[in-house]
Amino acid sequence: MHRLGKGIRHFKETEEGREHMSEAVERYGNKREKRGEKNNKILSVKTLMTNMKWSVDQALDALSITEQKERQSIIKAVQG
């Protein structure tokens, strides 16, 4: 059996390998979830700005987004 086959077998057939893969999949899912949440916030800010004729700061305040790093990230996305 060549190296790739041995490596894959380790992840499929050992408890340690399955645990490692489970953790990796969970981390990947968490990243996707956070990315989705951010995209939803950006869309909400854009919608409020368009429909309510609000500034980006007014929209962020209305959505209770107060953390400065998050605000800056969303502002950059909205303006970019």
Asked if 73 and 38 touch (Cβ cutoff 8 Å), the reply is yes
Phi, psi of 2 (to 5 degrees): -85, 175
27-47 pLDDT tens trace: 989 999 999 999 999 999 999
Tokens, residue 27: 């981390």
Mean pLDDT within 6-34: 83
Round to whole Å and give the CA distance between 75 and 9: 46
Per-residue confidence band for 4, with pLDDT thresholds at 50, 70 and 90? low
DSSP conformation class of 66: -
What is the C-alpha to C-alpha distance for residues 33 and 25, in angstroms, rounded to an integer? 12
